[in-house]
Structure 1
Amino acid sequence: MKTVTINHQVLPAIGIGTWHLGDQPQQQAKEIAAIRLRIEMGAQVIDTAEMYGNGRSEHLVAQAIKPYSRQKLFLISKVLPQNASHKRMAHSLKASLQRLQTDYLDLYLYHWRGHVPLAETISELQHFQDQGLIRAWGVSNFDLSDMQELWQLPHGPNVAANEDLYNLGSRGIEYSLLPWQQQHHLPMIAYSPVSNGDQLGAHLTQHPTVLQIAQQHQVSPYQIMLAWTISHPNILAIPKASQPQHMKDNLAALNLNLSTAELAALDQAYPAPQHKEPLDIL
């Protein structure tokens, strides 16, 4: 099984994304069941944010994890840029903790850059880590220049992870950001790792190469895309799955090994970037 290490914890390389979960009351029972099934199948990481449904996702996660030991889970949430200041971050963090019904987060991410000086945001994140309210902090939607700026700050090298959009059809981070993070032993959390099928115009699930490899393994195209994402070292993928069957499919990708020839075929179908590209953000 593929794993990733974040803040000295070895974790399964596929976690649970929760964007849009909790938005529709009539779907919440299925969504809770899907999360619980995935936990029972070995998932540890659950990724949420105060932005997701204005806290509804965090409420849903709290309901889903009630039967399980908190110490066996790795909870991630995120602070919005307008709340990432000395004046407002404490309120945001405590509200997230209350909604999640926990007294600490394993990882707290700065969701994306805003107008608050980066040094102020990082100082606050480090303060909450020192207090024990969060075990570690990280960033999201940061590109290479952002990471280099962060690294020069007093507590910058304490960053535990960066979460960016990354999938077979969106490989821009491979040109310079991903090598930089690998050089600095900084994990990447990949959101939208299966690209919603055709996001960014990639039409991944319909590509003949993806379909052929999926058929060879007797799995879905989504599982091939997920296996490709975590085939790279030190990457945690957080696909969203609101149905129990999707959760089972996600788990199967943990043990799906693509051959060198299959990886080369996917590279030919969706080539790695040959120049710097703007960071893809959803």
Structure 2
Amino acid sequence: MDLTGLGIGTWNIGEDPKKKKDEIAAIRYGLDNGIKIIDTAEMYGEGKSETLVGQAIKGYDRSQMYLISKFYPYHATPELERKSLEASLKRLGTDYLDLYLLHWRGSHRLSDTIRGLEDLKKEGLIRQWGVSNFDTPDMKELFSVPGGQACFANEDLYNLDHRGVEYDLLPWQEKNKVNFIGYSPFNSGKGNTIRITHNLKTVARDHDATPHQIMLAWALRSGKILSIPKSGKVSHMKENIAAQEIKLNDDELRLINSDFPQPTHKLPLDMI
């Protein structure tokens, strides 16, 4: 399947026992209302996010869900990938992942990483594999390694404040048929939020929406990427789901671009 539309991000979810009930309710509301994709990682709370996701999806039809997780770069050898995956599957309460990502580049050879992932794929423990926090030169290098062209997706930071991927990475991935997953559409992972400008408020008012819904609608506007906002409450999940219906016209996009300009040259890859 193509990875497009809205998914559920889980960074910082599952770490506070007091929030557990709300977080599980939010994930279940998403699943009950058409969202199929959940993105997590062994790094998130050192497994706590995966554990919470496992509790949230219990009782749901696994075949109707698409689960993504990630492994640390220092686990990027065939033996350690397998160990990481087995631990992730146990926490999630499933026997396979739909997509398994190298969380960011490390010191292990990409050829070893790919070999391990292809073995896991052959065994049916993962359906597809990919990478995260890779820039265009990284992707080109990956494609030059035997088996590298089997990469299914790359997940990078993408929001109004961080548009650098539009310059060369997004076009390269589209040309080479690598799905793009954009994380932190509200920039929340950096501990600061995208500035709420007058233009954002104007566009939001015209759509009877919140500025955050406009940010998410903007991230989803092409219909070609997957965006994975975190939602720790049902109310946030409802807002995110509603944002899918917002279509921004050319005048509104021009207003937004005037505050958050498109990149006109290559920028270093932003990461959180």
- Give the TM-score range, shorter chain: over 0.9
Residue type of the alignment partner of 1:221: P
Q: Bigger shift: 265-274 or 142-151?
A: 265-274
Counting only pairs closer than 5 Å after superposition, residues 34-49 of structure 1 correspond to structure 2 as 34-49=26-41
| Match 1:22 to one of 14, 39, 63 | 14
Displacement of 1:49 in angstroms is: 0.3
User: When the two structures are aligned, how many residues end up with a matched partner?
Assistant: 272
Query: Gaps (5+ residues) in structure 2?
Result: none
* 2:129 equivalent to 1:162: no
TM-score of the superposed pair, with normalisation by structure 2: 0.97
Shift of 1:126: 1.2
Aligned residues: CA RMSD: 1.4
Amino acid at match of 2:22: K
Distance 2:191 2:163 in 1: 11
CA apart distance, 1:266: 1.1
What residue number does 1:128 align with?
Answer: 120
Q: Measure, in 2, the Cα distance between the counterparts of 1:186 and 1:86.
A: 23
Aligned 1:99-178 pairs, distance under 5 A: 99-178=91-170
Residues 1:228 and 2:208 aligned together: no
**Closer, same or farther: CA 10–275 of 1 in aligned 2, 3 Å:** closer
- 2:84 is aligned to 92
**Which amino acid in the other structure matches residue 17 of structure 1?**
G
Q: Which runs of 4+ in 1 moved over 3 A?
A: none
TM-score by length of 1: 0.93
Q: What one-letter code is carried by the residue in structure 2 that aligns with 1:15? A: G
**Corresponding residue number in structure 2 for 1:273:** 263
* Alpha-carbon offset, residue 12 of structure 1: 5.8
Query: Which one-letter code corresponds to 1:279 in the other structure?
Result: L
Checking the alignment, whether the CA contact within 8 Å between 2:78 and 2:117 is kept in structure 1 is no
Match of residue 248 from structure 1: 238
Return 5+ residue gaps in structure 1 as ranges: 1-8
SS in 2 for 1:226: helix
* Aligned-partner Cα distance in 1 for 2:64–2:147: 28
The CA deviation at 1:59 is: 0.4
- Separation (CA, whole Å) in 2 of partners of 1:52 and 1:256: 30
Greater displacement, 95-104 / 258-267: 258-267
